[in-house]
């Protein structure tokens, strides 16, 4: 059984659904290959006479060995995925001329190491994977309960980061031009000094937006490279109703599993509000009063990590 799982991606996906049943789709799936030889096109048969190689026992043997081909298993998996899910699946491998090296052929190590270095698309593939892993460190949480005004739910929340090192790495890759969007609407630039809490040094980008329905998918993403490239942040797309439910806003009498986040002990994180995106002028004053009222109420909602 283990020999037929040289690419255990499907096993990992099954286990992830058991460990995190509420996660419908993973942020990033990364498969690491050990290399495979280039497959030559099948020769054209001019006569109906079959060679010994095409005899039944040899075809059975080839079918058995192909079932242990990690690259073939990966291709079959991608073929069953929708386009929006497939963009989260990555495989780093390489193709080289000639037969594959044996597992105990230590003399082939130099050739394989050189093949990785000179692989034509290697650098671009690695950078795509790196940005996918870094953007998966960003996540969104609501700061206040959505306010319904003039047919729209107005929301205020924060984009946070699970790793300060991820912020530094993204800024090293793209010092300028990183920007948050929800759909086609620009929310804010990625980072400036105001986004790092002076008290605890955690990242917190406050964003404001509105939706027409609680069941509408929030498609919060980050764009870079002149807005030519983009990726969803962790957990997106996700319905607004999911955030209100998980964070306890929809619980009329509180939540028995309420837990306090360590960042709530930092007064700067809980009191500072940075407004970047204005709302409609007709509802600004009314919404601001409601938001100010919510901010001064004791925080009794859960936070996401």
Question: Do 70 and 150 fall within a single domain?
Answer: no
Residue 22's closest CA among 235, 214, 213?
Answer: 235
| DSSP, residue by residue, 266-299 | -HHHHH-----S---HHHHHHHHHHHHHHHHSPP
Question: Do 290 and 157 fall within a single domain?
Answer: yes
Question: Do 143 and 106 fall within a single domain?
Answer: no
Mean pLDDT of 287-301: 51
How far apart are the C-alpha atoms of 43 and 57, rounded to whole Å? 20
Q: Which domain holds residue 172?
A: 136-296
Question: Do 238 and 284 fall within a single domain?
Answer: yes
* Whether 203 contacts 188, CB under 8 Å: no
Convert the pLDDT of each residue in 97-114 to its tens digit: 767 777 778 887 887 777
| DSSP, residue by residue, 192-218 | -GGGB-TTT--BEEEEEEEES-TTSEE
pLDDT above 70 for 293: no
Question: Which of the four pLDDT bands, split at 50, 70 and 90, describes residue 124?
Answer: confident
pLDDT at position 140: 95
How far apart are the C-alpha atoms of 302 and 300, rounded to whole Å? 7
Mean pLDDT of 257-272: 52
Question: Do 159 and 262 fall within a single domain?
Answer: yes
Question: Which of the four pLDDT bands, split at 50, 70 and 90, describes residue 5?
Answer: low
Question: Do 76 and 161 fall within a single domain?
Answer: no
Query: Is there a domain that residue 126 lies in?
Result: no
Q: Among 120, 145, 175, give the residue marking a domain's end.
A: 120
**How many distinct structural domains can be found in the chain?**
2
pLDDT at position 151: 93
Query: Is there a domain that residue 27 lies in?
Result: yes
Question: Which of the four pLDDT bands, split at 50, 70 and 90, describes residue 304?
Answer: low
Question: Do 144 and 289 fall within a single domain?
Answer: yes
Q: Among 120, 149, 166, give the residue marking a domain's end.
A: 120
Question: Do 94 and 219 fall within a single domain?
Answer: no
Q: Which residues pair with 296 in a beta bridge?
A: none
How far apart are the C-alpha atoms of 29 and 139, rounded to whole Å? 17
Higher pLDDT, 273 or 237: 237
pLDDT above 90 for 223: yes
* Whether 180 contacts 207, CB under 8 Å: yes
Residue 73's closest CA among 133, 136, 13?
Answer: 13
Question: Do 105 and 242 fall within a single domain?
Answer: no
Residues 6+ apart with CB under 8 A from 89: 29, 31, 77, 78, 81
pLDDT at position 202: 84
Higher pLDDT, 304 or 273: 304
Convert the pLDDT of each residue in 44-57 to its tens digit: 555 555 565 666 56
Convert the pLDDT of each residue in 162-186 to its tens digit: 888 888 899 888 888 899 999 899 9
Question: Do 228 and 193 fall within a single domain?
Answer: yes
pLDDT above 50 for 283: no
Query: Is there a domain that residue 75 lies in?
Result: yes
Query: Is there a domain that residue 201 lies in?
Result: yes
Q: What's the mean per-residue pLDDT of the chain?
A: 77
Helix, strand, coil percentages, rounded to 5, for the chain: 40, 20, 40
Query: Is there a domain that residue 125 lies in?
Result: no
Convert the pLDDT of each residue in 202-219 to its tens digit: 888 999 999 999 999 999
Query: Is there a domain that residue 274 lies in?
Result: yes
Query: Is there a domain that residue 164 lies in?
Result: yes
* Whether 157 contacts 182, CB under 8 Å: no
pLDDT at position 71: 79
Question: Do 166 and 264 fall within a single domain?
Answer: yes
Q: Among 69, 88, 120, give the residue marking a domain's end.
A: 120
Question: Do 231 and 195 fall within a single domain?
Answer: yes
pLDDT at position 161: 92
Query: Is there a domain that residue 47 lies in?
Result: no
């Amino acid at each position: 059984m283990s020999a037929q799982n040289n690419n255990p991606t499907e096993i990992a996906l099954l286990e992830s659904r058991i460990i995190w049943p509420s996660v419908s789709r993973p942020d990033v799936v990364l498969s690491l290959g050990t290399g495979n030889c280039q497959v030559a096109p099948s020769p054209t048969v001019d006569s109906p006479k079959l060679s010994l190689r095409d005899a039944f026992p040899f075809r059975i043997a080839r079918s058995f060995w192909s079932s242990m081909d990690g690259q073939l298993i990966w291709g079959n998996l991608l073929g069953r995925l929708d386009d929006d899910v497939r963009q989260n699946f990555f495989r780093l491998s390489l193709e080289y001329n000639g037969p594959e090296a044996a597992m105990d052929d230590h003399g082939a190590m130099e050739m394989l190491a050189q093949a990785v270095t000179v692989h034509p698309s290697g650098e671009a593939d690695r950078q795509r994977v790196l940005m996918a892993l870094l953007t998966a460190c960003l996540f969104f949480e609501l700061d206040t309960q959505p306010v319904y005004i003039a047919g729209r739910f107005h929301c205020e929340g924060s984009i946070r980061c699970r790793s300060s090192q991820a912020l530094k790495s993204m800024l090293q890759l793209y010092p300028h031009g990183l920007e948050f969007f929800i759909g086609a609407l620009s929310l804010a630039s990625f980072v400036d000094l105001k986004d790092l809490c002076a008290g605890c040094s955690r990242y917190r980008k406050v964003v404001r937006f509105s939706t027409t329905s609680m069941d509408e998918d929030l498609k919060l993403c980050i764009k870079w490279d002149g807005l030519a490239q983009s990726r969803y942040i962790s957990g997106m797309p996700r319905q607004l109703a999911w955030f209100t439910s998980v964070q306890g806003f929809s619980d009329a009498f509180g939540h028995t599993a309420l837990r306090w986040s360590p960042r709530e002990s930092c007064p700067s994180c809980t009191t500072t509000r940075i407004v970047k995106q204005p709302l409609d002028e007709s509802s600004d004053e009314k919404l601001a009063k409601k938001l100010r009222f919510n901010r001064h109420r004791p925080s009794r909602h859960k936070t996401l990590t």
